[in-house]
Amino acid sequence: MSKSAEAELPFEQSLQKLEAIVKSLEQGTLSLEDSLTSFQEGVALVKQCQTLLSQADQKVEMLIKANADGIETKSFQTE
């Protein structure tokens, strides 16, 4: 799949594709070259998912601030 086509995938499809890549890598049946290609594709998907999640987080913060009427917003921190 081309990088531009991956960039257009919705979050859920990107995540499913990433899960499939991880599963195939964990099975250990791919050649070294195929493993590296899959790993590279997985890294691109992780970056895409992170970007989409960041954009969603920004939208949520904007919506909260737009409708705030005294509501305090806090950043969501993962451990």
Per-residue pLDDT reduced to its tens digit, 39-52: 999 999 999 999 99
Record the pTM. 0.72
Mean pLDDT of the chain: 85
DSSP 72: P
Q: What is the sign of the dihedral through the CA atoms of 26, 29, 31 and 34?
A: negative
Q: Residues 47-79, buried b or exposed e (16+ Cβ, 10 A)?
A: ebbeebeeeeeeeeeeeeeeeeeeeeeeeeeee
